Structures are given as structure tokens and as C-alpha cells.
Amino acid sequence: MDEFRLCFVGGFVLTKERRRTKGACCLLDVLASRAAENRQLKVGDVVCPRHLQTSGELFRKGIYRHVSYQVEAIQVEEAEGSMTKLSLVPEGTDPANVFLHLRPATRILPRFERNWPVVVSIKEGCIVSFWDDILITSASYVQLSLCVVIAAFVLRNVFSIAYVPSESMVPTLNRGDAVLVQYLSSRIGNVGCRRDDIVFFSPPEELREYVRRVGNTELRTRDLFVKRIVGCPGDLVHIDARGSVEINGNRVGSRATSDGAEGTRAFAEQHMKLSDDEVFVLGDNPGRSVDSRFWGPLKMQNIVARPIVRLWNTLKHSVRVEELK
């Protein structure tokens, strides 16, 4: 029995006698080979070769893959080497010992004409019935469609492209940047708190209420915000009147730019300790960022995605791929 090694979705590589094909053999061709070994053929049947060779001896003979042929005669090689002519392939006969006399069932191009009929063993040409060939060929399209559906499902539920509409993360992310993000870590529960990570999150109710009150706007369910984690569960957070943030006594926000410098807004001085399921998030451009200083800590369950690479800027129409750190 042939042994198989999984190579790729829908493909296999034979590790024994078919290794000489030096490539991936579709599972359907393996099924065709099995069908060739088990199908009971008779004179007058229409058959199709499904051999893996695209040239060579079979091609020179006139055994072309997927061309339909009519069986004109059947011969079975006996143990002593003699040939017996039959009208039906006996059950249990070794396909290598069954030889078919074939003639094309339909007109073919003149350059492919041969001295018909040509003789080939069932096993050598991987001969299957006409309807088996139709079934296996149709199944290949079903297999391809299934792969497309699976790929679309993976892309839809694991990866996406997010658009940055504001300047809150300058210089790391600019307004108009398109970012490739992955949802996998959040959906398998592997959120974790890694300080200095950039995260995309769905707005908590406190942020929704702030936007309603200040901007007179209702956030949509699909809206995502992007910020950087600066405080993890158990950290002590202090916010002063200028909006500067200290985590465990250390000033954070060193990535901030001078654009919209801190101090232009008035903040209520706050002290808090983050609970086991909370993080504190800031924008890299705090003067233009509505972050945890305004609406409080972020629940880790609201984190839905993490960025992978920045792809392009939709405002500048310039294409680039950069790792986000």
C-alpha cells in the first residue's frame, strides 16, 4: 500500500513508487488510481486515462489524459504469459495484467492521430470509466471552492485591514494609515498585557459616553480605537493636572510628540490602581489623543486585535510595509 505525506491543503506527495513524479499529486488522482483498480470494465465502455505523465511513452502511444476512449477489446495476461481475450474484466484481476484496446470516442486533432486501436494496461494508464472521470473532475472544483471558502473564512476572522482616522498615534501611526491587524490572539483568549504594545479595542461604555457628551456623536458597533498599553494589571497610575501620566512612579509617554503639547487641557488629578482585568492606554501623541486619561482604564476583554504591519497611507497614496514596534 502506498504511503502518503501531507504536503498542503488538498495535496499529497507519494513516498514510494510515485515519488518519481517529483511534485504534489492531487488526492483525487489517487482516488482515480484506486477506481481504476476496482472498476469492472467491459467491451464497449467509454473510459478516460488519468495518468500523471504529461509526456513520454503513454503520450507517444496516444493515451492522452482526460480524452475519452472506447474499449474495443480486452486481453488478460495469464500466469504463463499467454493472452486471453475477454469481453469483461474478471473481478479480482490485477489491473497491471489487464490490457485494453482503445480508440478515441470523439474526434481529436490530426497531430494527435495514431494507429488505432492502441493497447495499454489499466494500471499503466490509470484508466477509469467516463462517469468516474466526470465525478472526480467535478470533485476537484468542489475541493478548490472549499479551499477558497476556508481561506476567505480565515482571512475574515483572523486578519483584517484597519484604517487610522486620527493623529492620536503620531508618529507611530499617521492619519490615513492602513494597518494589517490580527484577531487570533484575542479570539483564543491569549490577550495578555505586554507593556508598550499597540492594541485595537472596541470602545467601552465610558468612552462611548464621553464621545456622546463632548462630540455629540454615537459610536458604531464596528468602530475600533488604537492606543498603546502603558499600564498593566496591578500598576499604580497617577495623572496630574497637565495630563502627564506616571506608572508606578515613572513618567510614561516618552514617545509623545510636541504637536498639541500636554498642558493645553485641564485634568483632574487622579490616583488609581489597575485591577486584574484592566490596562491603561495612551496615544503616542497625547495632545491629540482621547485615551484612558479621559475615560478611565480599559477592560482587557475589549482588546480585539493587534497590528502586524503598516501597509500604506490612503491619503498620500504611497505604498510601504513597515513593522510596528
pLDDT tens digits, 237-254: 999 988 899 999 999 874
Active site residues: 168, 227
Matching residue, cell 482585568: 277
CB 137 within 8 A of CB 61: no
Helix (H, G, I), strand (E, B) or coil at 130: helix
3-state class (DSSP) for residue 146:
helix
Asked whether the beta carbons of 245 and 254 are under 8 A apart, the reply is no
Between 278 and 186, residue with greater pLDDT: 278
Coil/strand/helix, residue 320: strand
Nine cell digits for residue 260 = 498639541
**pLDDT value at residue 319:** 44
For the chain, the average pLDDT equals 79
Q: What is the pLDDT of residue 54?
A: 56
Q: Give the residue, 248 or 92, on which the prediction is more confident.
A: 248
**Amino acid, single-letter form, for residue 268:** A
Give kind and range of the element (H or E) at residue 309. Answer: strand 303-313
Comparing 133 with 286, which gets the higher pLDDT? 286
Query: Highest mean pLDDT: which of 25-34, 123-132, 188-197?
Result: 123-132
Q: What is the largest CA-CA distance in the chain?
A: 103
Q: Which residue did the predictor score with more confidence, 92 or 308? A: 308
Strand partners, 271: 238
The structure's pTM equals 0.56
**pLDDT reported for residue 247:** 94
Residue pair 50/29 in contact by the 8 Å Cβ criterion: yes
pLDDT in tens, 260-296: 444 456 788 899 999 999 999 999 998 889 999 999 9
CA dihedral 195, 200, 202, 208 (to 10 degrees): 80
Cell of 199: 492594541
Lowest-pLDDT range of 53-57, 132-136, 277-281, 314-318:
314-318
